[in-house]
Amino acid sequence: MTTGTHQRRKERIDRGIKVRTEGIYALMSWRELVYLIMPRFVIIVGLLVAPLMIPDMYWQRVISIVCIYALLALSFDFLAHQVGLVSLGGAFFVGVGGYLSAVLNSVFGFAALLSIAVATLIGGIVCTLLLLPCLPLRGVYFAIVTLMYPLFMARAIEALDILGGTDGIMGIDSLPSAWMEQYFIIGMLLLFLFGMRRLVNTDLGLVLRAVKDNDQAVRASGMNITSYKALAVFIASAIGCFAGASLVHIYMWAGISTFALDFSVLPIAATVIGGSGTLVGPVIGCLILVPVSELLRDFGTLRIVFYSLILLAFVVFRSEGLMVYGQRKYHQIERWKKI
């Protein structure tokens, strides 16, 4: 071929330690072990050290908020990309968990940690039962219904004037100490993150992915898809409720704003930016988005404009997300080759 123009293509080669499939490696040296452990290590140590590095009270609070959003994003990512149920109503989980924990703490006098734990479990069950009738719905329809739930709950609380009405529930206990508050949430985030990564690689995770890809085939194999979906919704909503309950105990207040749009939109944006389906991506997305949105707090609603534009750009032009991009760069050698 003597066309004159040098055509070339990009060649991607996996690094040597990767054996056949995703997640199975043949390690030959300490260097390779470090290479493999490094990304996990950076995230774990980074999250644990962050509060020590930043002595400012305000930014320590921001770290807790990052973790709460990260939990929500994790639950969204799990539900959307591992089970195929796109829930636009993350705020619903936050609200249910938050109000439950608030009531348990202020009315029944449970200790803060106990009420968070109980609210997580009961909240998961309540959300699953409420969403149970919509589980047969697919795609857009499930998304629309879940978008309506938090709006509905907020309006219902407003209209019926229950649970403190528009004032909310005040005087909720905070966690025993500031350090405990900080590390409790960071620890739980790491626990849920790595637990979730294990979960999606078990048989259960396989069935859930099958439900996403071809639910009729799962049905034909004699498995009840609704019960699997219900189980997945329980896991995701329990994580969301845990985030909500912790949030309420951090702010020592539960109100209608726990059903606010922010809790639905920001986790989705973080997931899209971080890389959908990777589970770590959403956490990284939150680590970027939440502090940026704190920095932009002075600009008022402009920050919502800002992150919705970022979200739009990522959805339309770079739908793979940072994590998938980073993984590719880290695990593969790229070079140009002449054809």
Partner 1 sequence: MDIIIYGTINSVALALYALGFALVYGISRLPNFAHGALYVLSGFVAWSALNILGINYLLSILLAIAVTAIVGSVIYQFFLIRIRGMEISEIIATYAIALAILEGLRWGGFKGMTYTLPPFIEGSAAIGGISVDYQRLLTVGVGAALVAFLWLFTHKTRIGLALRGMAQDERAALMLGIDSDVMAVVAMGLGSSLAALSAMLLLPLGNIVVESGYNVLILAIAVCIVGGLGSWAGAVLAAFIIGFAQILTAVYLGSHYQMVVALLAIILTLIFKPSGIFGQQKELEERV
Determine if 220 is a binding residue for partner 1 (CB under 8 A).
Answer: no
Binds partner 1 (CB under 8 A): choice among 16, 46, 109, 136: 136
Tell me which stretch binds partner 1 (CB under 8 A): 9-17, 63-71, 184-192, 310-318: 310-318
119 touches 97 (CB < 8 A)? yes
Binds partner 1 (CB under 8 A): choice among 46, 139, 176, 195: 139
93 exposure class (CB count in 10 Å sphere: 0-12, 13-18, 19+): buried
Minimum CB–partner distance for residue 143 and partner 1 (Å):
6
CA 189 to CA 185: how far, in whole Å? 6
Minimum CB–partner distance for residue 234 and partner 1 (Å):
19
**Pair type for strands 253-254 and 8-14:** unpaired
Helices 302-317/262-274 angle, 10° precision = 40
Query: Closest CB to partner 1 among 78 and 184?
Result: 78
* Ranges within 38-97 binding partner 1 (CB under 8 A): 80, 86, 88
Minimum CB–partner distance for residue 314 and partner 1 (Å):
9
Minimum CB–partner distance for residue 36 and partner 1 (Å):
32
Determine if 14 is a binding residue for partner 1 (CB under 8 A).
Answer: no
Determine if 260 is a binding residue for partner 1 (CB under 8 A).
Answer: no
CA 191 to CA 152: how far, in whole Å? 32
Query: Closest CB to partner 1 among 200 and 304?
Result: 304
CA 10 to CA 328: how far, in whole Å? 13
- Which of 194, 195, 204 has its CA nearest to residue 231? 204
335 to 1, 6, 274, 332: CA distances (angstroms) = 22, 15, 25, 10
For the chain, count helices (H), then strands (E): 13, 4
Determine if 113 is a binding residue for partner 1 (CB under 8 A).
Answer: no
Binds partner 1 (CB under 8 A): choice among 26, 292, 309, 333: 309
Query: Closest CB to partner 1 among 2 and 301?
Result: 301
51 touches 60 (CB < 8 A)? yes
297 to 65, 73, 178, 292: CA distances (angstroms) = 14, 21, 24, 9
Cα angle 324, 330, 336 (rounded to 5 degrees) comes to 95
Query: Closest CB to partner 1 among 45 and 132?
Result: 132
Query: Closest CB to partner 1 among 55 and 300?
Result: 300
Q: What type of residue sits at position 254?
A: A
Tell me which stretch binds partner 1 (CB under 8 A): 19-27, 51-59, 144-152, 236-244: 144-152
Tell me which stretch binds partner 1 (CB under 8 A): 13-21, 62-70, 168-176, 266-274: 266-274
Residue ranges in 4-138 assigned as alpha helix (H): 30-53, 57-77, 90-106, 112-131
Determine if 141 is a binding residue for partner 1 (CB under 8 A).
Answer: yes
Binds partner 1 (CB under 8 A): choice among 8, 138, 219, 329: 138
Minimum CB–partner distance for residue 269 and partner 1 (Å):
8
Q: Which positions lie near partner 1, rule CB under 8 A?
A: 80, 86, 88, 133-134, 136-141, 143-145, 148-149, 151-152, 155-156, 158-159, 265, 268-269, 272, 299-302, 304-305, 308-309, 311-312, 315-317, 319
